[in-house]
Chains A and B, each alone.
Chain A
Amino acid sequence: MAEAIVTDYLLELSEALVDVPREVRSEIIAGVREELEGLDGDAAAARIRELGDPAFIAASAREDAPTAPPAPAPRARPLDIAAGILVMVGGIAIPVVGWIAGIAYMWFSPTWPVRQKVLVTVLPTVLAAVVALVATLISWFTVPSPVNPLIPAVYDITHAVVIVWFVLAVPTGIWLLATARVRR
């Protein structure tokens, strides 16, 4: 009999505490369980009376602990999806501008951590810049010869930069899309 009333009380308490932060909730329930464990029927009933109405306990816990709002459904916001797609392929649709628009959207969104935003912005840019620099240096320090196909010309450099940029823009865009759902 003691077990039944204790279980009932704990269940009631657990339900009443549903919107209290999880840590506080489990702390309260563990404390009450510890207290009621091993008591016989009458003693358990008396202790439960002393503990009071679960709704009242929950009300004071709520007042004291910042209430956790019900977790929002893990759905990506439309703007985040747009940002991810723009970062991924926006630069192909509207060269450069499309990618920059995606990056701008991304920075305005609270969805991703700053570290990720920095990586997504900097990685393609820095790598493209490095490739541009290396290619330029090669063309500078090689003896100019009008018909040497091994020396990169300006349009080759541009090509290389664009390719490197997109090779990185696409996966970073995918990365944004993949993490748009989970980060809340």
Chain B
Amino acid sequence: MVRTVLYVFGGVLLGLVIHLVVILLLPGLASNNVATRLAALGQVNKVVTLDPVQPGAANPLRLDPEMSYAICRLDLTKGPGELTGTLPVSFWSVSVYDRSGAVLYSTTNRDGIGQSLDVGVFDAAQTRLLAEQKIDVDAGLLIVETKSDDIFVVVKLEPPQPATRDRYSAQLGKLACRPLKT
């Protein structure tokens, strides 16, 4: 009896260890995460607008069919990057993702930015240079600091009516995604 209880107790302990190992290893082992899906869509330093979600079609990123999306992939190893442009009057938001799919920074146009989007993405070393004023940036640039160099910037825009979707998506495509001129 005592032996059975001990075995079960040992099993529970070992089970908890397995659980912790699984939870901690899962993010590293997952091959189908946001980063690989975005990487398949986006090219470095180029704005890619995503096709609208078709009825009944697979939607692995679980995008909101009411929104228009643009992705810009930045490689910060050669210097900071920026995403800049003008967006139409409607709700839009911008978010910065790292390879694990975590959102490093996000904001919406309701934060007083208005219609012009000006995001500069800097890694830790570049942020230090920025603080030492060794990188010169324009006033009003929204500065985002990241820990890694492989970064995805996603802009989500809400077309006010379904009929305006194409026009709004085209506007998203006019955003510039490039290395920051320093």
The answer on A and B forming one complex is: no
Q: Give B contacts to A, CB under 8 Å.
A: none
Q: Give A contacts to B, CB under 8 Å.
A: none
